[in-house]
Amino acid sequence: MTHINTDNCNKSGKLHGEGCKSCIKEHRNNIFSPLSQEEIDFLIDKKRQIVYNVGETITKQNTASTSVICINEGLAKFYVESANGKNVIVRIAKAGDFISGGGLFNGNFQHFSVSAITKVKCCMIDSANLTSIFGKNNEFAIKLLRNHTKQNNFLLKKLVDHTQKYMPGRVADTLLYLKNEIFNSNEFSVPLTRQELAEMSNMTKESFVRILHQFKDSKYINTKGNTISILDESSLVSISENG
């Protein structure tokens, strides 16, 4: 199922007619921006670009891993599988995103799973190679730390939001997150089931559907299948903030 593009990416890869070098350089906010060409070549030499189809697992919780993932194209869900079988989707990873946490930094195993919700192209980079660059380029180490700190603050906020807000506030948060962080558009088609949207919002699918219906009745949003349109963002923001 998993296609491994074994082309070494120094030359143009098969996919998209562009090599992996560009995948590393092109994304805005890119964590690799402080790297020199040599350093990029060093990482690129050791890496593979992999294609995952919808539903495939990219990283599995509780398995060992020494790689970090750089998403090149597509969307993936970053989630935690809990003992009782109820998943918590923490965030959606998109092109340019960098997923670390396991591998070298952590010592042993992944504390989360990642799976493709659209076709995903991503690079796996060995964390030992990443850290070997720190000595030559401390801007890069700072970028990585900043990335981790950002993720930390994100989790801190999510912890509070999920434990303190009522359901409408959490649904509003999920909708605004999708609009502002993932699709950058007032209308978007979500490649997620209601169950998954509920797992992002910390509630049952039935509750999610009910709140969504209320929002539709109130003309805050419109929905048609998996397409959601944000009609009144300021009301959603207010619901999100109120609680």
Helix (H, G, I), strand (E, B) or coil at 182: helix
**226 binds, options DNA, a copy of itself, none, Cβ within 5 to 8 A by partner type:** DNA
Q: 166-195 mask for DNA (x: CB under 7 A)?
A: xxx------------------------xxx
Contacts for 152 with CB less than 8 Å, ≥ 6 apart = none
What are the structure tokens assigned to 44, written together?
């690129």
The entry of DNA, a copy of itself, none that residue 194 binds, CB within 5 to 8 Å by partner kind? DNA
Residues of the shown chain interacting with a copy of itself in the complex, contacts defined by CB under 8 A: 80, 82-84, 86, 88, 90, 100-101, 104-107, 111-112, 131-132, 134-138, 141-142, 144-146, 148-153, 155-160, 162-164, 202, 241, 243
Q: What's the min distance (Å) between Cβ of 172 and a copy of itself?
A: 14
**Nearest residue (CB) to DNA, 11 versus 224:** 224
Q: Fill in the per-residue mask, 119 to 158: x = in contact with DNA (CB under 7 A), - = not in contact.
A: ----------------------------------------
Q: Which does 223 bind (CB under 5 to 8 A by kind): a copy of itself, DNA, none?
A: DNA
From a copy of itself, DNA, none, interface partner of 47 (C-beta below 5 to 8 A by class): none
DSSP state, residue 191: -
- CB count within 10 Å of CB 148 equals 14
Residue count of the chain, please give it.
243
Tell me which of 8, 106, 223, 235 binds DNA, using CB under 7 A. 223
150/79 Cα distance (integer angstroms): 17
Shortest Å distance, C-beta 171 to DNA: 10
Cα radius of gyration rounded to whole Å, the chain: 19
Element (H or E) spanning 152, and its range? helix 138-164
Residues in Cβ contact with 146 at an 8 Å cutoff, skipping those fewer than 6 apart:
none
206 binds, among DNA, a copy of itself, none (CB under 5 to 8 A by kind): DNA
Angle 48-52-53 from CA coordinates, rounded to 5°: 160
149 and 102 in contact (C-beta within 8 Å)?
no
Distance separating the N- and C-terminal Cα atoms of the chain: 43
Other beta carbons within 10 angstroms of residue 50's beta carbon come to: 19
The site partner of 215 among a copy of itself, DNA, none (C-beta below 5 to 8 Å per kind) is: none
Binding site for DNA (CB under 7 A): 166-168, 193-195, 202-207, 209-210, 212-213, 223, 225-226
